[in-house]
Chains A and B, each alone.
Chain A
């Protein structure tokens, strides 16, 4: 019994920790964010979680997308959303603060952001004592998308262009947004 506990509580998590994430984003990769939303992740980043469109549409539920590059992380998720863009941002802020960054505050007022396919959303920059980042939300035809980026202060400038490009790549069902 003690051996089983050791196996499940220590050995297997340690093996998982030791195996590197080897899902580097290649040029041309497009990811499925569910609800008909796709996104182009930055080349060279790691895919921690999520499904690549080229691998085919899975018959299972589509998980949220998780990406990382150094200490920078980005999560992209979608949901059914019938309310306004502002309401989605407010809700995303609330959940983000409660779940991830307790001492979080908004660093810059919200601004508009437009994707390459023409969808208009809101971007908001946040800060906490240890991390900084941005929350980006879009709403299109009953579908909401949120991108939460979290990084250290030193990396935010390095990754800025990658993140801008990724946000601009958000596409709703054929880019009708």
Chain B
């Protein structure tokens, strides 16, 4: 396919109409306002966030001062741990980016409300009840596996439901469930891991706190960090979207239930495997959710790809983008790799990547302008033309 920089005089009205539909349906470019005093969901969320902060503060103040190195060291390593995750998840938003405020709200819910207001209370009570009703041995061996998948997954999912109520125009597809759910789970994961890091020194009265921090980080962050709350919550939230349906995502109750069940079973298997060091069970706990997220993510992305195509089709029609570039921008990761590989030589491949990056910027500018011809949109078009000219 040859590229062109000439523009036909008019754009097909159908393409423009489809572009507007994609903008309206996707919710891309819409802002997120957390402060909605008329919305009861905001008050419930605010109350639980405050309750979580109070609980976190109480937890912090009841730790011996002697464990301060673990408290601070844990905060540092788990904060740093978020960086690659956030980069990864933002990369997964290649079709349309959700507002940063939405991701931050999800993260805060997972880290504060779900962890410290809900799950910590529920887990303590559930573990205690297993000990009383069955036996302490049973509670030690099965308590986490039989409780946490329900208490924790429901606590995190509650935040997703709350965010749907606060941002119905932004959470429209199962892919939104994937991304927002992952941010909720990441918040839960790092705050929970920090709690484990802070509690770990009690095993040796804090005599080897640096080693303790490193050991907890390696165990919970490096070795098993991929198959943890970010993954489980992404599955649950995708499942919720399919369970309840959204204006552009038809209800698929069985599929939705299946994804929720995979997360719950995977979570339970993981906790049981970690408790008793069962490697075979751990393998199941790793493979099942990972396969589900890959398949579910690809399936959920189809809607996003369709929107992306409709969003940029007028640009291809008027020559701002080539059909190949449009295909790559609205395609899968493999499509993009194939597009880049068709360019021979390092410089040309770098140029191809740059063109795709600018194409994504153009899509972003179009949704931000809600389809209007603004200076920002025109500016990206000029950048594209310049880049193409430079690339030869």
Contact = CB atoms under 8 A, between A and B. Distances in A.
Contacts of A99: 62-64
A157 interface: no
Contacts of A118: none
Contact of B132 (A20, A83, A88): A20
B131 interface: yes
B137 A4 contact: no
B158 A55 contact: no
Interface string B107-142: 000000000011101101110110111011100110
B48 A5 contact: yes
Contact of A16 (B129, B140, B162, B202): B129
Contacts of A62: 140
Contact of A63 (B129, B140, B277): B140
Interface string A47-75: 10111100110111111000000000000
B124 A13 contact: yes
A12 B155 contact: no
Majority secondary structure, B binding face: helix
Contacts of A20: 132
B89 interface: no
A173 B34 CA distance: 59
Contacts of A92: 205
Contact of B158 (A1, A15, A51, A60): A1
B51 interface: yes
A117 interface: no
Nearest to B272: A60
B132 A22 contact: yes
Nearest to B137: A55
Contact of A5 (B41, B118, B135): B118
B161 A95 contact: no
B283 interface: no
B86 to A, nearest CB: 26
Interface residues of B, number: 42
A80 B132 contact: no
A16, A20, A50, A52 pick with most chain B CB within 10 angstroms:
A16
B151 interface: yes
Given A1-B161, A79-B205, A47 B136 contact: yes
Interface of A: 1-2, 4-5, 7-9, 12-13, 15-16, 19-23, 47, 49-52, 55-56, 58-63, 79-81, 83, 88, 91-92, 94-95, 98-99
Given A9-B121, A55-B135, 5 more contacts: A4-B118, A12-B125, A16-B125, A16-B126, A19-B129
Interface of B: 41, 44, 48, 51, 62-66, 117-119, 121-122, 124-126, 128-129, 131-133, 135-137, 140-141, 151, 154-155, 158, 161-162, 202-207, 275-277
18 contacts: A1-B44, A5-B48, A8-B118, A8-B121, A8-B154, A12-B121, A12-B129, A13-B122, A16-B129, A19-B129, A23-B132, A60-B140, A60-B141, A62-B140, A63-B140, A83-B207, A94-B64, A95-B202
Across the A-B interface, give the 8 residue pairs with the lowest CB-CB distance, nearest first: A98-B64, A8-B122, A16-B125, A59-B276, A12-B125, A99-B64, A13-B125, A60-B275
